[in-house]
Chain A
Amino acid sequence: MTNTLPTDTEVAGMTPAASFLPRSALQTLLDLLLGQGYQVIGPRLDQGAIVYDSLERVEDLPAGWTEEQGPGLYRLQRRDDDALFGYAVGPHSWKRFLFPPQVNLMRSQQTDDGWRMSEVVQPVVRYAFLGVRACDLAAIAVQDRVFLQSGFVDKVYQQRREQALLIAINCTMAAATCFCTSMGSGPRCQQGYDLGLTELPSGFVVEVGSERGAALAANLPLEPLQDEQDQAAERARQRAVDDIGRRLDRDRVQTVLRERLQHPQWDAVAERCLSCANCTLVCPTCFCTSVDDVTNLTDQEVIRERRWDSCFNFDFSHISGGPVRDQTRSRYRQWLTHKLTTWVDQFGTSGCVGCGRCITWCPVGIDLTVEATLICQDQDADAETRS
């Protein structure tokens, strides 16, 4: 675990001397990773978006592409340069690889002595993630708490997480939906990565974040970092900070939202909410699942399959008397209060990292920052808003 989850001391013990990787040598990095048996996952153009998928060549990266994002809106756009990582975040998050949408957990076989049950042995997957944003690093840290550090350990996540190599890329722009600065999760990649990169036109400023990252860096054709490169990288990173216009008062929401469980805005948002669960499935921290059996007619062998589920589903809270949260209003309230408040009680961190995916990928464009702010307004202002 030391490589993927470096403690502060371990990181502090290393000299984070930055260096420079010329753009022409990026393929060397990919080749090195592929040669070490990693499956490299990074940004690619697909389905009108920048998604995370397997890649082997620098040419697979979305050179010169960026995106426009807004509530319920995503459009690819050309950049006026050929930056490889000149976008914010796309529809996918890394959770789809560390916490797969569908996974087989257990196998039951009918024998003469009754059922025999055994664990399904998971294939060993070694991912190298290229292009992890600061909000993504924060999201992975949140899921680490959920799956690894809160009592029971999820073995599927654990195996994938321990193997995964994280190459972070600092944002040099922001989408209109980004609000990581409000959540304290970005845009600067601070920790949790193996290698941290900042893209400049001529190459990448490289920072080492772990022993595994250092080992990788040792095999790269790195050049000493020039002062002007360092300063250009700092300016590029500052651009992302300056770009972020969306705000959420995290501390106020954390304390106030839980006291506003009967606020009329829950009804107002339920009028627009489709309860379709898109927000929860694009969220890089949401972790709800259901487990169900995959049967055949003869029942000789039954596989128990775990799938992403969502608190927006009608049946999700079903008990003997029917679903507990039987209206969209109560399901939206569960999601928002969990994400922004009770998550802190459970895991010591907010469930929201400010990536804005739930805003972009909501088909009706419901904006979490607007809803939470409305509900947490002081009561007088609130009364004015409604009158």
Chain B
Amino acid sequence: MINPHTENAETNVAAEPTTDCSMRIDPTAACDPWVAQVAVITDIRPEIDSVSTYRFRFQNPDVAQAYRFLPGQFNMLYLPSCGESAISHSGPPAHDGTDFIHTIRFVGRVTDSISRLKVGDTIGVRGPFGAPWPWDTCLGRDVILMTGGLGLAPLRPMIYAMVSQREAFGRVVLLHGSRSPEQLLFADEIDAWRAAGVEVELTVDRADDAWDGNVGVVPLLLDRLPDVQPDQTEVLTCGPEIMMHYSAVSALRRGIPATSVWLSMERNMQCAAGLCGHCQWGAWFVCKDGPVFRYDRIHSLLSIRDL
């Protein structure tokens, strides 16, 4: 196991600002990590079954202006009398002082209740929290995103940011899997991403008659991807733990070093500030040391189911 204070701090936290979307965020600058700010829902867009994308704006204009996040970070969304849920940012990180976006699956007490909210309703927000995707590390390199199901949402801010500075990267590849063609998230954006220079390969667990693409798991897409340059590639993966695990195994098989593979972990998060203990995983607090981890730092933990 690795000491987060000696090994992780410099890379799992954003580096000095080099672009408008990697502004350094001081996690302790927030006055009180326990107190939420009120945000109003400005738009709701149904995506696939039981998943919608919400646009929010902080009610307090000063809070809205000051708010910044990095791709991979998350907010705690709070509905009074119902509870709180950790939800990753899924919108563009270039901040215009107004809105931020979350894509939410309705799977529990809080998210089910969010599903009944309307435009104009208010909600509590604490954040942003967590270590982001390694933006600076990815600069100038080939970037392969491997996502499963809703795992595409936490990487969408990264796609937006890379597309907006496409020349700053080498090859950009999205390998995405969904259960079925109708469960394909952000389907209407795929063409735009392709047009902007993102190679997109899709796969489904179960095809239907209209589907003429890949069938099978996401790691297979990497196995088959031509012309991978292992020493100039970063792999960013998000999805079910087992899918990320095998994506990492596949990346290693292609010769990509473990230090270039990044996973976004899910654990129970309550305070999001490393104070409540719920998200502990080995020596890590997933809420503040993660959720994004470099594979070489966690692979020994991944092999133990109930750690």
Is B37's CB under 8 angstroms from A291's CB?
no
Q: In the complex, what's the smallest C-beta–C-beta distance from A131 to chain B, in angstroms?
A: 28
Q: Does B225 contact A (CB under 8 A)?
A: no
Is B124's CB under 8 angstroms from A117's CB?
yes
Is B81's CB under 8 angstroms from A115's CB?
no
Chain A residues positioned under 8 Å from B168 (CB to CB): none
Is A151's CB under 8 angstroms from B38's CB?
no
Q: Does B306 contact A (CB under 8 A)?
A: yes
Chain B, residue nearest A110 (CB)? B80
Q: Which of A258, A293, A295, A341 has the most CB of B within 10 A?
A: A293
Is B1's CB under 8 angstroms from A151's CB?
no
Q: Does B35 contact A (CB under 8 A)?
A: yes
> Roughly how many angstroms separate A146 CA and B280 CA in the complex, as a whole number?
14
Convert A79-118 into 0s and 1s, putting 1 for each residue whose CB lies closer than 8 angstroms to a CB of B: 0000000000000000000000000011010100111111
> Roughly how many angstroms separate A113 CA and B38 CA in the complex, as a whole number?
11
> Which among B134-142, B152-160, B180-188, B262-270 touches the partner chain?
B262-270
Chain B residues positioned under 8 Å from A287 (CB to CB): 275, 277
Is A291's CB under 8 angstroms from B276's CB?
yes
> Which among A7-15, A161-169, A213-221, A319-327 touches the partner chain?
A319-327
Chain A residues positioned under 8 Å from B82 (CB to CB): 293
Q: How many of A's residues come within 8 Å of B, CB to CB?
A: 55
Chain B residues positioned under 8 Å from A152 (CB to CB): 27-28, 30, 33, 271, 273-275, 288
Is A289's CB under 8 angstroms from B275's CB?
yes
Chain A residues positioned under 8 Å from B270 (CB to CB): 289-291
Is A302's CB under 8 angstroms from B5's CB?
no
**Given A152-B273, A342-B1, A345-B283, are A105 and B35 also a contact pair (CB < 8 Å)?**
yes
Chain A residues positioned under 8 Å from B38 (CB to CB): 114-117
Q: In the complex, what's the smallest C-beta–C-beta distance from A340 to chain B, in angstroms?
A: 12
Contact of B275 among A114, A147, A330 (CB under 8 A): A147
Q: Which applies to chain A's interface (DSSP): helix, strand, loop or mixed? A: mixed
Is A330's CB under 8 angstroms from B307's CB?
yes
> Roughly how many angstroms separate A345 CA and B297 CA in the complex, as a whole number?
13
Is A290's CB under 8 angstroms from B278's CB?
yes
Chain A residues positioned under 8 Å from B274 (CB to CB): 150-152
Chain A residues positioned under 8 Å from B267 (CB to CB): 317, 319, 324
> Roughly how many angstroms separate A262 CA and B1 CA in the complex, as a whole number?
15
Tell me the A149-196 residues at the B interface (CB within 8 Å).
Answer: 150-155
Chain B residues positioned under 8 Å from A108 (CB to CB): 36, 80, 124
**Given A115-B38, A147-B275, are A324 and B124 also a contact pair (CB < 8 Å)?**
no
Q: Which of B35, B59, B82, B123 has the most CB of A within 10 A?
A: B35
Convert B18-43 into 0s and 1s, putting 1 for each residue whose CB lies closer than 8 angstroms to a CB of A: 00000000011010111111101000
Q: What band does the interface of chain B fall in when counting residues whose beta carbon is under 8 Å from A?
A: 35 or more
Contact of B276 among A290, A334, A345 (CB under 8 A): A290
Is A114's CB under 8 angstroms from B108's CB?
no
> Roughly how many angstroms separate A261 CA and B37 CA in the complex, as a whole number?
41
Is A327's CB under 8 angstroms from B306's CB?
yes
Tell me the A272-294 residues at the B interface (CB within 8 Å).
Answer: 287-293
> Roughly how many angstroms separate A3 CA and B7 CA in the complex, as a whole number?
33
> Roughly how many angstroms separate A309 CA and B268 CA in the complex, as a whole number?
13
Is B276's CB under 8 angstroms from A115's CB?
no
Tell me the B34-70 residues at the A interface (CB within 8 Å).
Answer: 34-38, 40, 59
Q: In the complex, what's the smallest C-beta–C-beta distance from A132 to chain B, in angstroms?
A: 24
Chain B, residue nearest A157 (CB)? B275
**Given A289-B275, A290-B278, are A115 and B306 also a contact pair (CB < 8 Å)?**
no
Is A119's CB under 8 angstroms from B32's CB?
yes
Is A345's CB under 8 angstroms from B4's CB?
yes
* Interface set of B (CB-CB < 8 Å, partner A): 1-5, 27-28, 30, 32-38, 40, 59, 80-84, 107-108, 120-124, 266-268, 270-271, 273-278, 280, 282-283, 285, 288, 304, 306-307
18 residue pairs A–B, Cβ–Cβ below 8 Å? A108-B80, A113-B59, A114-B59, A115-B124, A117-B36, A118-B35, A119-B34, A146-B275, A152-B273, A153-B28, A288-B276, A289-B270, A299-B80, A309-B276, A320-B266, A345-B2, A345-B283, A346-B5
Given contacts A316-B278, A342-B283, 18 further A-B contacts (CB under 8 A): A108-B36, A117-B35, A117-B37, A118-B35, A146-B275, A151-B273, A152-B271, A152-B288, A262-B304, A288-B278, A289-B271, A304-B34, A316-B268, A318-B268, A319-B268, A324-B268, A341-B1, A342-B1
